[in-house]
């Protein structure tokens, strides 16, 4: 695969503002719900969250578990357990494990409730702030928990712009926040994985790089899914040869019988984002942590 010197970077002004406002509201919350993408638990963990949420009870939710490699997600849950971190794999669209979020929240706040009892405070009300990178499913999760369209959702980053407290039930409130990235991606492999999972706007991407990186990853880790999806045999082939075969199979032919590679790249990216290739995870515990 040919690499160039282009870097993926995206930090809109509203993200910087969101970080400031979350810091201002953090004292109002009992619990931090950090939502990560189950396909990229490491790459979707924002290093600024530790800085923002220091000292607060926290649970980690691995969303989109239904489109991640389930065996690898299990490894991540075991990894967090070994670190004494409360983590739960969920899927906000299918309702998978959603009911257990309340159970995990109460476990995380055990000490908080004990302190309330000592002060003869009977309230079991939980005020939680939900934090995560763009397009990890925060708004969808809130709507699922609230059983109504409480906040706007979208399949691309940058939908949530403002912070609003949402009533889930009589004892549970969530503050929705915009997705926050960090000002500079020190590791461009992390940035590519964020791009795979639509956490960066396409306007700042080089789709050819993303598509080629994806094919390279699939060849190394999910060769059977790659071959099955595109009805090819990728054995002992280069990335260029694989993409050429996919282009031929998908009829990506321009004038004068030239290969329309841009169209091929778009097909590959769309297949990925519409989960047509299969359940995929892009990182395992121990590789990057």
Phi, psi of 185 (to 5 degrees): -85, 110
| pLDDT at 288 (0 to 100) | 57
pLDDT band at 279 (very low <50, low <70, confident <90, very high): very high
Tell which residue, 109, 111, 127, 115, has the closest CA to residue 164: 127
pLDDT band at 7 (very low <50, low <70, confident <90, very high): low
| pLDDT at 177 (0 to 100) | 78
**Measured distance CA(39)–CA(160) in Å, rounded:** 22
**Measured distance CA(38)–CA(17) in Å, rounded:** 27
Average pLDDT over residues 157-172: 70
pLDDT band at 212 (very low <50, low <70, confident <90, very high): very high
Judged against a pLDDT cut of 60, whether residue 163 lies above it is answered with no
Q: For residue range 170-190, what is the model confidence (pLDDT) as tens digits?
A: 999 998 877 776 655 667 788
Would you say 73 and 62 are in contact if contact means Cβ atoms under 8 Å apart?
yes
Judged against a pLDDT cut of 60, whether residue 289 lies above it is answered with no
| pLDDT at 23 (0 to 100) | 77
Neighbour-count burial for 157-183, b at 16+ CB within 10 Å, e otherwise:
bbbbeeeeebebeeebbbbbbbbbbbe
- Among the listed ranges 37-41, 45-49, 77-81, which one has the minimum average pLDDT value? 45-49
Average pLDDT over residues 141-154: 80
Cβ-based burial of 17 (10 A; exposed 0-12, middle 13-18, buried ≥19): middle
| pLDDT at 161 (0 to 100) | 44
User: Mean pLDDT score of the chain, rounded to an integer?
Assistant: 86
What DSSP string runs through 171-192? TEEEEE------S--S-HHHHH
Tell which residue, 233, 49, 200, has the closest CA to residue 134: 200
Residue 178 CB contacts under 8 Å (≥ 6 apart), including other chains: 14, 15, 18, 134, 158, 160, 161, 162, 163
What DSSP string runs through 239-284? HHHHHHHHHHHTT-B-GGG-B-HHHHHHHHHHHHHTT-S----S--
| pLDDT at 155 (0 to 100) | 47
pTM above 0.75, yes or no: yes
pLDDT band at 12 (very low <50, low <70, confident <90, very high): low
Average pLDDT over residues 183-204: 77
Cβ-based burial of 79 (10 A; exposed 0-12, middle 13-18, buried ≥19): middle
Would you say 64 and 199 are in contact if contact means Cβ atoms under 8 Å apart?
no
- Among the listed ranges 208-212, 219-223, 235-239, which one has the minimum average pLDDT value? 208-212
Select the more confidently predicted residue: 288 or 250: 250
Tell which residue, 194, 183, 236, 252, has the closest CA to residue 15: 183
SS3 231: coil
Average pLDDT over residues 227-236: 97
| pLDDT at 153 (0 to 100) | 53
- Among the listed ranges 132-146, 172-186, 195-209, 228-242, which one has the minimum average pLDDT value? 172-186
pLDDT band at 132 (very low <50, low <70, confident <90, very high): confident
* Strand duo 126-132 + 87-89: pairing: unpaired
Q: For residue range 62-114, what is the model confidence (pLDDT) as tens digits?
A: 999 999 999 999 999 999 999 999 999 999 999 999 999 999 999 999 999 99
Would you say 176 and 127 are in contact if contact means Cβ atoms under 8 Å apart?
no
pLDDT band at 48 (very low <50, low <70, confident <90, very high): confident
146's enclosing H/E stretch is: helix 138-146
SS3 45: coil
């Amino acid at each position: 695969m040919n690499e160039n010197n282009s870097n993926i970077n995206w930090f809109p002004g509203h993200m910087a503002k969101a970080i400031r406002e979350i810091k201002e509201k953090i004292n109002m919350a009992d619990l931090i719900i950090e939502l990560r993408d189950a396909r990229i638990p490491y790459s979707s963990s924002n290093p600024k969250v530790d800085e923002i949420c220091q000292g607060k009870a926290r649970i980690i939710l691995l969303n989109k578990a239904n489109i991640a490699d389930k065996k690898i997600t299990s490894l991540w849950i075991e990894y967090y357990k070994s670190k004494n971190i409360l983590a739960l794999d969920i899927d906000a669209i299918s309702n998978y494990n959603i009911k257990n979020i309340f159970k995990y929240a109460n476990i995380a706040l055990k000490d908080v409730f004990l302190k309330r009892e000592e002060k003869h405070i009977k309230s079991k009300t939980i005020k939680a702030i939900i934090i995560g990178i763009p397009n990890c499913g925060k708004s969808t999760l809130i709507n699922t928990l609230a059983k109504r369209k409480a906040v706007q959702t979208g399949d691309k980053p940058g939908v949530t712009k403002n912070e609003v407290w949402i009533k889930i039930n009589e004892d549970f409130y969530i503050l929705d926040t915009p997705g926050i990235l960090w000002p500079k991606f020190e590791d461009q492999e992390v940035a590519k994985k964020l791009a795979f999972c639509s956490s960066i706007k396409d306007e700042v991407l080089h789709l050819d790089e993303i598509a080629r990186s994806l094919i390279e990853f699939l060849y190394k880790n999910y060769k059977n899914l790659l071959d099955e999806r595109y009805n090819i045999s990728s054995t002992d082939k280069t990335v260029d040869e694989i993409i050429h075969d996919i282009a031929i199979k998908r009829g990506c032919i321009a004038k004068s019988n030239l290969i329309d590679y841009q169209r091929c790249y778009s097909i590959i990216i769309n297949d990925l984002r519409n989960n047509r290739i299969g359940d995929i995870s892009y990182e395992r515990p121990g590789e990057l942590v």
